Structure 1
Amino acid sequence: MVRRGELTDAAWAVIAPLLPEPGARSGRWRDHRQVINGILWKLRTGAPWRDLPERYGPSKTCHERLRRWTADGTWDRVLTAAQVHDDGQPVEWVISVDSSIVRAHQHSAGARKGGATGVGGGCGPAVGAQDGEAIGRSRGGLSTKIHLAVDGRGRPLSILLTAGQAGDNPQLLNVLDAICVRRPGPGAPRRRPDMLIADKGYAHDSTRAALRRRGIRHTIPERADQVARRTAKGSAGGRPPTFDRHLYQRRNVVERRFNRFKHWRDLATRFAKRASIYRASLVIIAALMWLP
């Protein structure tokens, strides 16, 4: 019987072939599905690892496998496979980008320096964490910022972490560079959207210029100070950038996706010391959002 929050049979059928096989001298190997269900229980409840129910096996086993598969890029490969899973709803390449801040619990501080924060992705090196362990001090205290790109149906395409005080605009190109969706057949993975939708936090002139150089159409509203500066110059200020108000209303899909992520209590508050582990937790849930 599948309990609430556990892997469905359909999701397991996609994930199972991507998981590492036990080594020849590994001895008895705890069932992968049981372990992943234990990880999902932890992410859903936000409880300490030591409170993991016995039906999922030892908490040390679940935590160690989460850490090991983070280091070797397994979770990113699962997300890549989920994105090309044939569910009759292909990727809709009207991309929305935004960020959200999560509070960092006191238990997330104090990670030893020198730990790896980046992880490998299914299409090559993925963009992992920036600024060390991606913990900074913003108005609300210690926090981490999640930068997210989603397709037109709100399904996650790429995830990047920075410290909480980091700006949105400088990370836009990094978030777009991390998009890598394999095609069902032969051919290089697709990375460039048909249209990008973003809010005023990404309205810098240099960003618009970079998007034009890449041939990416976008609809981003102007900030009030940009409108005032352009208007003050008269005809020398040029025409306002193209802005489709009707299309911009579709940006709410990324905000709703953040809401879905934060239903998982271990993601709504960051408890993990390592940015790579916290990002892996986000990637796991992102993959489930693609699967039936």
Structure 2
Amino acid sequence: MGRGDLTDVEWERLRPFLPVSNGRCGRWRDHRQVINGILHRVRTGVQWRDLPERFGPWKTVYERHRLWSGDGTWERLLQQVQAAADAVGEIDWEISVDSIVRAHQHAAGAPHQPAADTFLKGGRRGGTPGRDAVAEPRRPPGGGGAGGEGLGRSRGGFTSKLHLSADGFCRPLSLIVTPGQRADCTQFIAVLERIRVPRGGPGRPRVRPDSLAADKAYSNGRIREYLRRRGIRHTIPEKSDSQAARLRKGSRGGRPIGFDEDRYKKRNTVERTINRLKQSRAVATRYDKRGYIYLGTATAAALVIWLRT
């Protein structure tokens, strides 16, 4: 076993949730070997062509990662591991949200793709692929959006922003990729609505945290109204200009915003989660040209965090 490869314990936790067939020519090539190759690239950030030979043909490893990024397999694997942790009470549902930004010049230059949905071979279109389905990915939700491939421009060059929520044990719950200039507050609702932890038995997935903490970037009326409507306790500091405007209105300005200083101190869990994700160099600096593939890279890194925590 090489450095960074899945251990036997981690493999046994992941193996029951893996697809058993590629839908075209029988069974997949050895999952463990290919996944270890994907994780090696996620951890080191090397070019796909430079993968060590022990992982098999580099194109096989890349194609598996591309397909699983496009058809949602990485996201489903992450949700299944989260569900196993939630079933034994190992998720701290006091969550926090934030984002990180970085993109390499190699992330630019992807050919234009006119379609923005996922086509499934065999005549079906849309929906969630089955366990044995093969997808031709076309920028699934959370991996691009209005910014094309989730790339923006600033004075420093190309930027891509990864928005995420994290539980109280510094593990990612949901991830979204947007262009780097996209404001954090515009993706807050989308990040929360991508939290879906399946139940161990019948019933809908868990989607609502016990409480939430965020910084001033998320302080606006729309977000606070959304959290009140869903019954989520939250701690978000009020911006100084909003506070001044409220005070100028006097009694018409309404009551002061509730703020729990002790709860806000626990917001560092999302910062520590970001530091964990950035240990994977392919996440810390985006090299993937396609937004949905970069989202798959970040999701694979998040899956490793869950397996090893």
TM-score normalised over the length of structure 2: 0.87
Instruction: Give the one of 285, 289, 292 matched to 2:305.
Output: 289
- For structure 1, the residue ranges without an aligned partner over 5 or more in a row are none
Q: Structure 2 residue aligned with 1:244, among 229, 245, 260?
A: 260
Indicate yes or no: 2:245 matched with 1:229. yes
Most deviating of 208-217 and 25-34: 25-34
Counterpart residue type for residue 8 of structure 2:
D
Q: Does residue 193 of structure 1 match 2:209?
A: yes
Distance 2:85 2:98 in 1: 27
**Do residues 176 (structure 1) and 175 (structure 2) align?**
no
1:15 match: 14
For residue 94 of structure 2, what is the aligned residue in structure 1? 94
Q: 1:155 to 1:215 in 2, by over 3 A?
A: same
Query: Match of 1:84, as an amino acid?
Result: A
Counterpart-to-counterpart distance in 2, 1:234 and 1:23: 65
For 1:277, which of 293, 301, 304 is the aligned residue? 293
Amino acid of the structure 1 residue aligned with 2:55: Y
Q: Does structure 2 conserve the Cα–Cα contact (< 8 Å) formed by 1:157 and 1:179?
A: yes
CA deviations over 1:97-117 (Å, ceiling 9, x no partner): 111111x21211111122666
Q: 1:268 to 1:137 in 2, by over 3 A?
A: same
Cα offset for 1:129?
A: 2.9
- Alignment root-mean-square deviation, CA: 2.2
Task: Give the drift of 1:27.
Answer: 7.2
The amino acid of 2:224's aligned partner reads R
Question: For residues 97 and 107 of structure 2, what CA distance do their matches in structure 1 show?
Answer: 26
Q: Distance in 2 between matches of 1:167 and 1:289?
A: 27
Deviation at 1:29, TM superposition (A): 5.0
Q: Aligned partners of 1:209 and 1:285: how far apart in 2?
A: 33
C-alpha distance after superposition, 1:51-86 (max 9, x if no partner): 111111111110011111222221111101110124
Distance 1:121 1:105, change over 3 A: farther
- Kept after mapping to 1: 8 A contact 2:143/2:149: no
Moved more, 226-235 or 195-204: 226-235
Aligned to 1:32: 31
SS across alignment from 1:5? coil
Change (3 A) 1:121 1:222: farther
Q: Aligned-pair distance for 1:38?
A: 0.7
Alpha-carbon offset, residue 147 of structure 1 = 0.4
Distance 1:134 1:217 in 2: 31
The answer to whether residue 79 in structure 2 is matched with residue 63 in structure 1 is no
- In 2, are the aligned partners of 1:117 and 1:132 still within 8 Å (CA)? no
Q: Distance in 1 between matches of 2:39 and 2:277?
A: 13
1:54 aligns with 2:53: yes
Q: Which digits, 9 at most, give the CA deviation of each residue in 1:205-238, with x for residues without a partner?
A: 2221222122222110001111111122222222
CA separation in 1, counterparts of 2:24 and 2:269? Answer: 47
Deviations 1:11-54 (A, max 9, x none): 21122222222458737853110111111111111111111111
**Where does residue 283 of structure 2 map in the other structure?**
267
Return closer, same or farther for 1:231/1:107 CA change in 2, 3 Å cut-off. same
Give the alignment's TM-score, normalised by structure 1: 0.92
CA contact (8 A) 2:142 2:292 kept: no
Which amino acid is the alignment partner of residue 189 of structure 1?
A: P
In structure 1, C-alpha distance between the alignment counterparts of 2:242 and 2:23, rounded to whole Å: 63
* 1:263 shift after superposition: 0.9
**Counterpart contact for 2:20–2:27, Cα < 8 Å:** no
Q: Which SS does the other structure have where 2:148 is aligned? A: helix
Number of equivalent positions: 288
**5+ residue gaps in structure 2?**
119-126, 130-139
| Greater displacement, 276-285 / 110-119 | 110-119
Q: State whether residues 70 and 280 of structure 1, in contact with CA within 8 Å, keep that contact through their aligned partners in structure 2.
A: yes
Identity of aligned residues (%): 53
Deviation digits for residues 114-164 of structure 1, max 9, x if unmatched?
266677879xx8644322200001343211001000112121110001100
Q: Which range is displaced more, 267-276 or 5-14?
A: 5-14
